[in-house]
């Protein structure tokens, strides 16, 4: 009887230990190893050249999906088509998440192409004639950024109590050149250069249209909350693949890619430390 009981207990212990081992194996096996990352140009290229190779060295299979607007990358992230995206700054992310009832979180900031004022007609702001038309982004945060470039360079003025990150055309208190601002979808701004006098164009769309960032008449100064960043669903923030994406961006390999292929981009504070 005692011998039978001993055999039974031994089998029970072995079974429990085996179950624990299987559980741990399943947990490690359940770690996501196939990633789909999304971004607009040039951030999709930044992912392909500066992030994907590093993650593949860690054993991931990585697909980079390119978008041509500022709406679909967050929708794709929210519905699970993407694991992370790279195209937006903090102000835009928070506003979009609130408006669309999403829970999005920032992972790490990256070098960002500034908004620039471009023109096929003028070479300098002093050359701008009265009544000139200006194409500007129609989404609130990028519209404010475009207007702020003009304000920072003395072309227009805002009321002193206006938050520059939330400024609209209605907040302009001084416009001596009587500029006419025409809101346009951000992705379409480069195409407007043939029909307007000036355009405030986001750096990524300027690059995708073949414009050289250095040809802008002026460019904006980027505070930290306007620098683009990797974004994930908040529920995924602590997952291993997110930590590995952050590690990839902090790597020497990533910094080398930035120095060689993304010159003129504004670097976040952490890269300058």
**Do 135 and 103 belong together in one domain?**
no
**Do 251 and 185 belong together in one domain?**
no
Specify the pLDDT at position 273. Answer: 63
**Do 142 and 216 belong together in one domain?**
yes
Instruction: Give the 3-state DSSP-derived string for the chain, with helices as H, strands as E and coil as C.
Output: CHHHHHHHHHHHHHHHHHHHHHHHHHHHHCCCCEEEEEEECCHHHHHHHHHHHHHHHCCCEEEEEEECCCCHHHHHHHCCCCCEEEEECHHHHHHHHHHCCCCEEEEEECCECCCEEECCCCCCHHHCCCCCEEEEECCHHHHHHHHHHHHHCCCCEECCCCCHHHCCHHHEEECCCCCEEEEECHHHHHHHHHCCCEEEECHHHHHHCCCCHHHCCEECCCCHHHCCEEEEEHHHCCCHHHHHHHHHHCCHHHHHHHHHHCCCCECCHHHHC
**Do 131 and 253 belong together in one domain?**
no
Q: What is the pLDDT of residues 61-95, one digit of tens each?
A: 999 999 998 899 999 999 999 999 999 999 899 99
Q: Per the domain annotation, does 16 fall within a domain?
A: no
Q: Find the CATH number of the domain harbouring 205.
A: 3.40.190.10
**Do 268 and 204 belong together in one domain?**
no
**Do 122 and 206 belong together in one domain?**
yes
**Do 212 and 235 belong together in one domain?**
no
**Do 253 and 168 belong together in one domain?**
no
State the Cα–Cα distance between residues 228 and 122, nearest whole angstrom: 29
* Domain tally, the chain: 2
Q: What is the pLDDT of residues 232-271, one digit of tens each?
A: 999 999 999 999 999 999 999 999 999 999 887 889 999 9
pLDDT exceeds 90 at position 176 = yes
Q: Per the domain annotation, does 5 fall within a domain?
A: no
**Do 173 and 236 belong together in one domain?**
no
Domain boundary residue, one of 180, 206, 221:
221
Q: Per the domain annotation, does 209 fall within a domain?
A: yes
**Do 130 and 92 belong together in one domain?**
no
pLDDT band at 30 (very low <50, low <70, confident <90, very high): low
Q: Which of 59, 217, 50 is nearest to 124 (CA)?
A: 217
Tokens representing residue 28 in the block: 């490690």
State the Cα–Cα distance between residues 232 and 77, nearest whole angstrom: 7
Average pLDDT score over residue span 106-132:
96
Q: What is the pLDDT of residues 130-157, one digit of tens each?
A: 999 999 999 988 899 999 999 999 999 9
Q: Per the domain annotation, does 199 fall within a domain?
A: yes
Q: Per the domain annotation, does 26 fall within a domain?
A: no
**Do 97 and 230 belong together in one domain?**
yes
Q: Per the domain annotation, does 177 fall within a domain?
A: yes
**Do 178 and 83 belong together in one domain?**
no
Q: Which of 198, 240, 243 is nearest to 218 (CA)?
A: 198
Q: Which of 30, 228, 51 is nearest to 145 (CA)?
A: 228
Q: Per the domain annotation, does 1 fall within a domain?
A: no
Q: What is the pLDDT of residues 177-212, one digit of tens each?
A: 999 999 999 999 999 999 999 999 988 889 889 998
Q: What is the pLDDT of residues 151-162, one digit of tens each?
A: 999 999 998 899
Q: Per the domain annotation, does 39 fall within a domain?
A: yes
What domain range includes position 176? Answer: 116-221
What is the Cα Rg of the chain in Å?
25
Specify the pLDDT at position 28. Answer: 41
Domain boundary residue, one of 202, 221, 240:
221
Domain boundary residue, one of 194, 221, 248:
221
Which CA distances in Å does 174 have to 104, 129, 151, 169, 200? 37, 16, 10, 11, 19
Are residues 146 and 115 in contact, defined by beta-carbon separation less than 8 angstroms?
A: yes
């Amino acid at each position: 009887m005692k011998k039978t009981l001993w055999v039974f207990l031994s089998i029970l212990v072995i079974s429990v230990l085996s179950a624990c081992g299987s559980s741990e194996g399943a947990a490690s096996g359940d770690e996501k190893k196939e990633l789909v990352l999304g971004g607009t140009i040039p951030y999709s290229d930044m992912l392909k050249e500066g992030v994907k190779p590093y993650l593949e060295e860690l054993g991931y299979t990585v697909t980079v999906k390119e978008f041509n607007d500022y709406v679909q990358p967050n929708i794709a992230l929210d519905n699970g088509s993407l694991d992370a995206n790279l195209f937006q700054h903090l102000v835009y992310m928070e506003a979009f998440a609130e408006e669309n009832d999403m829970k999005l979180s920032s992972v790490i900031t990256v070098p960002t192409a500034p908004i620039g004022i471009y023109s096929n007609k003028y070479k300098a702001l002093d050359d701008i004639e009265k009544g000139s038309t200006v194409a500007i982004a129609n989404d609130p945060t990028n519209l404010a950024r475009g207007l702020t470039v003009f304000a920072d360079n003395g072309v227009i003025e805002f009321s002193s109590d206006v938050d520059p990150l939330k400024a609209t055309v209605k907040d302009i208190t001084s416009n001596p050149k009587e500029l006419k601002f025409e809101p346009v979808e951000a992705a379409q701004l480069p195409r407007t250069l043939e029909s307007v006098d000036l355009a405030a164009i986001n750096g990524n769309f300027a690059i995708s249209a073949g414009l050289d960032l250095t040809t802008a008449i002026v460019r904006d100064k980027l505070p930290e909350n306007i620098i683009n960043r990797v974004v994930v669903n908040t529920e995924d923030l602590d997952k291993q693949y997110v930590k590995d994406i952050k590690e990839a961006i902090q790597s020497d390999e990533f910094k080398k890619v930035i120095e060689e292929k993304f010159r003129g981009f504004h670097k976040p504070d952490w890269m300058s430390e």
